[in-house]
Amino acid sequence: MYVTVIGGGNSTPIFATLAKKAGHEVAILTRKPEAWSKTVGFDNEDKEYLEGVEKMEAEVDLVTSDPAACIPQSDLIFIAGIPIHHNPEVLKEKVAPHLNREKKVFVGSICAYGGFNWVCADALGKGNYVIFGTQLIPWCCGTRKYGETGVVFGAKRMLRIATEDGKDEHGVKKIMQDILKIPDVRDTDFLASTLWPNNSSLHPPILYGLFKDWDGKTGYDKDSVPVRIYAELTDSSADALCKFDDELVAIVDALKVHYPENKHLHEDFRLRSCIIENYKDQVEDTSTTATTVRTNKAFGSHNIPYKTLEDGKVVPIVAHKFFETDLSFGVTTFIDIANMLGVEVPTMIAIGRWNQALVNKDYISEDGKITGKDAGECILPSAYGLDEKNLDKGRR
């Protein structure tokens, strides 16, 4: 297959290397091709993944900023290295004008949340393409050297692949399993993936627990705030995380009434269960949600982004996907669905209002509806003409 990997973030050198090793022709489409080497690779710190191989490298076939150089001949297009709030723009401006609509092309995302099927249908329109996505990122990962070397901190022990029907009629699982080398790959659909515990149900409540009383300007003493977002989870953050978790599960429980045949909504959506299911031996203490987050080795190296002020104090960096993507492509999506179903979500609304003030946006109105002046930036099923009876549909 001809595989185009879109984006230049943490996961790009990892996926590109694995795709090349699986025998595919690989192109990387990035805004900064001059910063990339054609020889890419990654360090592997997970002793169980890839049979413990410590480093893997491969030479890709093309690195370009021109979608016309790679999208037309692509058999598989994978958005891997960008925050998902860029998906609509990338799909509409980079993929749609060059997509071969006469053949079956797989169009996927490294995370299938944020209504990826709704976004694809709106951005790409009609065509013979097949939408898919990994329900969660296949690995907790980072960058050793931009444009060249990534790092896998911990790989999933089990991974679900979302397809439009949730039944994988086009054989995406086999393709991805051959690339990712994760033996246990299962089916799911996009509705379940949009609601599955992910970045949007982790970062906002954790950060709210830490910074809910912050004025957006005053610095903190370095020693007074955590560095590791998961490993140093505070009690206040754990409390917000668990309340958020309860509300997300309540939304899923209400959806089951409308989709009794959707087996994917009948999985266990509790955050604790999901982490244990995906990471298994990498979690040292599974007794509570908080300990499961704190002691997951794969989570351990992820930091809260800070900048240092002139007086030596620090403030969290708000212009970051933790504060931007996870609100408009997650929290507001959950609230919109909750409003359709009549489910009360006071924690989500409180976190959303706090977060929108920090990023200077107006999404959530006083009545708890997503009707503020900036609501058009959010992924809202209601804005796509969907309601509680057809949330599992795209529009193409």
Angle between helices 332-341 and 199-211 (to 10 degrees): 110
Tell me what pLDDT residue 393 has: 78
**Out of 2.60.40.420, 1.10.3720.10, 1.10.1040.10, 3.40.1260.10, which CATH number does the structure's domain 199-384 have?**
1.10.1040.10
Which of 7, 19, 8, 151 lies closest to 79 in space, CA to CA?
A: 7
Tell me what pLDDT residue 310 has: 95
Q: Cα–Cα distances in Å, from 253 out to 56, 189, 264?
A: 43, 16, 12
SS (H, E, C) 289-335: HHHHHHCEHHHCCCECCEEECCCCCEEECCCCCCCCHHHHHHHHHHH
Which of 310, 276, 388 lies closest to 342 in space, CA to CA?
A: 388
| Segments of the chain assigned E as strands | 2-7, 25-29, 39-44, 55-59, 62-64, 76-81, 106-109, 130-134, 139-145, 149-155, 158-163, 184-189, 306-308, 314-316
Tell me what pLDDT residue 395 has: 57
Neighbours of 307 (CB within 10 A): 11
362 contacts: CB under 8 Å, gap ≥ 6:
356, 372, 373, 374, 375
**Domain spans, the chain:** 2-190, 199-384
Helix ranges, 112-169 (H): 116-124
Average pLDDT per 10 consecutive residues for the chain, totaling 396 residues: 96 98 98 97 96 97 98 97 90 96 94 91 92 95 96 96 94 97 95 94 97 96 96 97 98 96 95 95 96 96 95 96 93 97 98 97 96 96 92 72
Main-chain dihedrals φ then ψ at residue 133, nearest 5 degrees? -170, 150
Tell me what pLDDT residue 157 has: 94
Determine contact, residues 79/108, Cβ cutoff 8 Å: yes
111 contacts: CB under 8 Å, gap ≥ 6:
84, 133, 134, 135, 136, 137, 198, 199
Query: CATH says 2-190 is which class?
Result: alpha beta
Tell me what pLDDT residue 63 has: 98
Tell me what pLDDT residue 203 has: 97
